[in-house]
Structures are given as C-alpha cells and as structure tokens.
Amino acid sequence: MPSRKLTFIPGPIEFTDTVLEAMSTPSQAHTSPEFVAIFQEALKNTRKLFQSTDPEAQAIVVSGSGTLGWDLVGANILNPNERALVVSTGFFSDSFASCLRVYIGDRNVEVLKAKQFGSAVDTSEIESALKTAKDAGKPYNVITITQTDTSSGVLSDVASISAVVKHVSPETLIVVDAVCATVCENLEFDNWGIDYCLTASQKAVGVPAGLSISFASARAVEKALAKEHPAGFYTDLQRWLPIMRAYESGKGAYFATPSVQLIHAYNQSLCEILSHSIKETFAAYKTASDNFKNKLADLGLKLVPVSREIAAHGLTAIYFPEGIDGPKLLSNVGEKGFTIASGIYENYKDKYFRVGHMGVSAIGARKKELDDCFEAIKSSLQELGYKQ
C-alpha cells in the first residue's frame, strides 16, 4: 500500500518530484529576465506538443482551468450568430456546446450526439451534417471535436474527421478539445489542418490545475484579431496574443499577472515529456492503456467505449459488474491507497467508474503504481463478492 493516497482519476494526476519542486520556485517578478526566459521556453515547447512548425500559429497559456478554453473559443473564434457543429461523445462535449450557446445563441449550436453512451459519432454523419449546411448556403463556421471525452473515455478520430471537413467544408474552422488527450494521443496540428486546440495543465501535461493552454492556427489568430466587438475582457485574445508573442520573443509584457510558479512547473514537465520523442510517448500510452484494459477485461469487466478502437489511452471508463455496490468499490480502492473516479454522464453516472492512467504513474518511473492500482481494484472486487 502506498504511503499516501495516489491520484488515479482522469486529472489531476500524480506529478513528478521535479514538477512539484518547480511549483515551489521562489518568487520572481513576472517581467524579470529569469521568468521571461522560462515562459519563452514554455511557449516554444508548447509548439512541439502539437507537432507544429508554423511560425504564424501561436500558443496561448493563461491562468484558468480547462473550462476557460471553451470560452476562448466562444469569445474569439466565433462571432455572434455564426454557427457551430459540436461532435458529442459525452458530458464534456455537451458542456462545450453549453458554453458556445452563451456566445452565439442556442439556435446556432448544433450537437451531433453519438448514438449511444460509449459510441463515437460516425464520420459519415458528420460529413452529411457538413454537406447539408453547406448546400443550404450556411456552412458551419466552426466544428468542435472532443478528442477524448473524459466522461465516456471515448476517443474521436480527429485525423479522419478533419480530412472530411477539409474535403466537404474547408471554410469551417476545426476546434479540438484535447484536455484529456494532449500528450496521450496523436495530434498533428499542421498536418491535419487543425485551427484551435485547447487543453489544460492537470492531465497528461503533468502539472497541477490552473493553466488553460491553447494553440491557434494562423487562420484562427487572424479571425480572433479581426473580431470587431470583444465578448469579454479576460477572455479577449486581442489582448492576450501580443503578450504571448512578446514573451515568446524574449520580452516581458503585461495584461494580467501570469502564475510564475505554474509556468515553471509547466515548462519543467514539458522538458521531461519532450526528452522522449512524442510518437514514442503515444506508443507508451497505448501499451499502458492496453495492458490495463486487458487485465480488466480478463476479470470479465466491460468497458464503456463500445470497441477498443475508440477507447482513449489516458483513462479507462468501465462498468461496475452486476451486483457490485459502486460507491463501496471506490471507497475500498481508496482505503487501499488509490483515488479513482466515479461516473459523470447523466443516467449512467452510477453505473460505471473511471481510472486515469497518465503521467509518471502510468508511463514514467513510477509506472508500477498503475499495476498496484489494478491489484487494488481486483482485490476490492473480490472482497465485495465479485465472481467472474
């Protein structure tokens, strides 16, 4: 049993000691040369995370939670009365839609929902929705794809969907919510023609919560800068973009005080992540995820995603077996030293649980902890009388 309870939820995750040390970096002025150098490196490193070499694209790192990323899209990448198509595979996709409704109105947000909980949305359905809109002379201005929906553990095929968008409705900007996918799942920002990717610090990025991280294409930057009336102040990219460009070029600038310590921790984690090739990291996540899912399947448990092809690699969403008291299982696993997460999707939320496997305790030096977490789940099930 671990000496303290380990966090195996789909974010926040366990952090490396070096990242935690960076969190307690002694104070530095936010415009000091010492801090500017760190923020500059962090912004440059962010490009690598998204495999982008386009100098016109821009990383945006702002104090806030992942949720703030949705507002950055609604407030900057859309104009009032423009239309968005939301590809929904769960709670977080739906919440992104709720956020966009605030900015462009209820009737301008169309949600294309997966047929059932645990399914992905068929690419052919997306194609047909895009075509219909285009044929009606009102192509969608934005499509949003939640790469991994943290509620269902469903992975959407961003590459294929993007290819369809480029083919059918190339004027539609492609927005990816990669909060639970960045670092776990391949995302080729330039190659696939993504326009805006939003993520956050507390998942596979491996840093405590508190940073909203975005990456915007030249087209998205241009649209944000052309917006006539800002929809917010803190959420206004016309204010943030010059700040990010200044820091990335090695100069301090001020709009709102950045979190010096979180940026230090972010850059530290990026340096650790980027010390391996990003493709090797994706492969390591696939291995860790496959092993974990195989072991649960061997116990006779059923995954929420309807097939392995659409199961995300940073977490596992899995149904409680028949007759097992869910809250009791979670609390038993907790007593063995592992915090795992309950469900979070509408009527299903009491029917399944979620285990996050990201960062140091999944693919890093402490990856044995994930095996230990599995053992804790297995023995807890047995204690509750589970028989295969």
Per-residue binding string, a copy of itself, 47-86, x by CB under 8 A, is ----------------xxxxxx-xx--xx-----------
Closest CA to 110 of 87, 127, 138: 87
Cα–Cα distance, 26 to 35 (Å, whole number): 11
Buried b (16+ CB within 10 A) or exposed e, 338-366: bebbebbbeebeeebbbbbbbbbbbbbeb
Minimum separation from the CB atom of position 329 to a copy of itself (A): 16
Beta carbon of residue 328, minimum distance to a copy of itself (angstroms, whole number)? 16
Residues 6+ apart with CB under 8 A from 115: none
Dump the DSSP string for 193-239: T--EEEEETTSTT-S-S-EEEEEE-HHHHHHHHH-SS-S-STT-HHH
Out of 80, 170, 232, 300, which residue is the one contacting a copy of itself (CB under 8 A)? Answer: 232
Which lies closer to a copy of itself via its Cβ, residue 131 or residue 349? 349
Minimum distance of a copy of itself from residue 172's CB (angstroms): 22
Per CB under 8 A, which of residues 265..324 are in contact with a copy of itself?
Answer: none
Q: Does residue 369 belong to the site contacting a copy of itself (CB under 8 A)? A: no
- Provide the minimum distance between the beta carbon of 9 and a copy of itself in the complex, in angstroms, as a whole number: 5
Token pair of 66 as six digits? 């992942």
**Farthest-apart Cα atoms in the chain, separation:** 63
Residue 311 and residue 210: Cα distance in Å, rounded? Answer: 27
Q: Which among 164, 169, 160 is positioned nearest to 140, based on CA atoms?
A: 169
Smallest gap, in angstroms, from Cβ of residue 71 to a copy of itself? 5
CB of 42 vs a copy of itself, minimal distance in Å: 15
Tokens of 74: 């609604």
Binding footprint of a copy of itself, residue count (CB under 8 A): 59
CA distance 211 to 209: 6
Tell me, what amino acid is at 206?
G
Q: Which is nearer to a copy of itself, 287 or 339 (CB)?
A: 339
User: Which stretch, 124-132, 252-260, 277-285, 318-326, contacts a copy of itself (CB under 8 A)?
Assistant: 252-260
Choosing from 26, 55, 137, 385, the residue that interacts with a copy of itself (CB under 8 A) is 26
- Residue 111: CB minimum distance to a copy of itself, A: 16
Residue 302, number of CB atoms within 10 A of its CB: 14
**Residues with Cβ < 8 Å from 322, sequence gap 6 or more?**
none
Element (H, E) at 98: helix 91-104
**Applying CB under 8 A, which of residues 14, 82, 177, 372 lies at the interface with a copy of itself?**
14
Among 204, 260, 303, 311, binds a copy of itself (CB under 8 A): 260
**190 vs 57: CA distance, rounded Å:** 9
Q: Between 320 and 359, how does the x/- string for binding to a copy of itself read (CB under 8 A)?
A: -------------------x-x--x---------------
CB nearer to a copy of itself: pick between 120 and 260: 260
Does 354 appear as a known binding residue?
yes
Kindly state the helix (H) or strand (E) to which residue 282 belongs, with its residue range. helix 278-298
For residue 33, the minimal CB distance to a copy of itself (Å) is 9
Which residue, 17 or 290, has its beta carbon nearer to a copy of itself?
A: 17
Residues in contact with a copy of itself by CB under 8 A are 4-7, 9, 11-15, 20-21, 23-30, 32, 34, 63-68, 70-71, 74-75, 98-99, 102, 200, 202, 208-210, 230-236, 254-262, 339, 341, 344
Residues annotated as binding site? 354
Binding site for substrate, by residue number, is 354
